[in-house]
Chains A and B, each alone.
Chain A
Amino acid sequence: MRKLNAEKAGNQPWIILIFIFLSLLIVFPLLYVISVSMTSDADIARYGYRLIPKEASFLAYDYIFQTPKALLQSYLITIIVTTAGTVLALLLTSSIAYVMTRKDYRYSRLMTFFVFFTLLFNAGLVPSYIVATNVLHIQDTLWALILPYGVSAWFTMLMKGFMDGLPFEIIESAKIDGASEWGIFARIVLPLSKPALATIGLFYALAYWNDWWLAMLYIQDEKLIPLQYYLQRIMTNIEFLTKNMQAGISVDMSSIPTESARMAIAILAAGPMLFAFPFFQKYLIKGLTVGSIKG
Chain B
Amino acid sequence: MRIGTALRNEGKHFWRGKSLFLLSLPAIIIVFVFYYLPMYGIVIAFKDINYAKGIWGSEWTGLDNFKFFFQSQDAMRITRNTLLLNGIFIAVGIFCSVVIGLLMAELGRKWVRIFQTVLFFPYFLSWVVIGFVTYILLNPSYGVINKALEWMNVAPVDWYSIPGYWPVILTLTYLWKNVGYTAIIFFTGLIAIDTTYYEAASIDGASRFQQIRKISIPLIVPLITLLVILNVGRIFYSDFGLFYFIPRDAGMLYSTTDVVDTYVFRSLRVTGDLGMASAASLYQAIVGLVLVFSTNLIVRKFNKENALF
Contact = CB atoms under 8 A, between A and B. Distances in A.
B20 A217 contact: no
Interface string B116-144: 11111110111111011111110101111
Interface in B44-74: 44-45, 55
B219 interface: no
B30 A124 contact: no
Contact of A16 (B35, B111, B143): B111
Contacts, number: 274
Contact of A292 (B146, B189, B245): B189
B34 A131 contact: yes
Given A23-B119, A99-B23, A263-B132, 10 more contacts: A4-B195, A36-B136, A124-B282, A125-B264, A126-B278, A150-B27, A232-B131, A266-B129, A280-B124, A292-B226
Interface residues of B, number: 100
Contacts of B180: 26
Contact of A125 (B104, B133, B265): B265
A96 B189 CA distance: 29
B13 A106 contact: yes
Given A6-B108, A16-B107, A106-B13, A235 B41 contact: no
Contacts of B268: 125-126, 129
A213 B240 CA distance: 9
Interface in A97-156: 98-100, 102, 105-107, 111, 114-115, 118, 120-131, 134-136, 147-148, 150-151, 153, 156
B45 to A, nearest CB: 8
A92 B26 CA distance: 7
B53 to A, nearest CB: 13
A127 B117 CA distance: 40
B27 A92 contact: yes
Interface stretch (A56-64, A192-200, A249-257, A281-289): A281-289
Interface in A33-59: 33, 36, 44-45, 48-50
B221 interface: no
Interface of B: 13-14, 17, 19-21, 23-24, 26-28, 30-31, 33-42, 44-45, 55, 100, 103-104, 106-111, 115-122, 124-129, 131-137, 139, 141-144, 146-147, 176, 180-181, 184-185, 188-189, 192, 195, 198-199, 202, 208, 223, 226, 240-241, 245, 248-249, 261, 264-265, 268-269, 274, 277-278, 281-282, 284-285, 288-289, 292-293, 308
Interface of A: 1, 4-6, 8-10, 12, 15-16, 18-19, 22-23, 25-27, 29-30, 32-33, 36, 44-45, 48-50, 91-93, 95-96, 98-100, 102, 105-107, 111, 114-115, 118, 120-131, 134-136, 147-148, 150-151, 153, 156, 180-182, 185, 206, 209-213, 216-217, 228-229, 231-232, 235-236, 259, 262-263, 266, 269-270, 273, 277-278, 280-281, 284-285, 288-289, 291-293, 295
6 contacts: A107-B14, A126-B277, A127-B40, A147-B30, A288-B185, A292-B188
Given A15-B103, A148-B34, A270-B129, A281 B120 contact: yes
Given A45-B142, A281-B117, A231 B278 contact: no
A124 B285 contact: yes
Contacts of A206: 124
Contacts of A92: 26-27, 30
A262 B31 CA distance: 38
Contacts of A273: 124-125
A186 B231 CA distance: 36
A1 B195 contact: yes
Contacts of B128: 212, 228-229, 231-232, 235
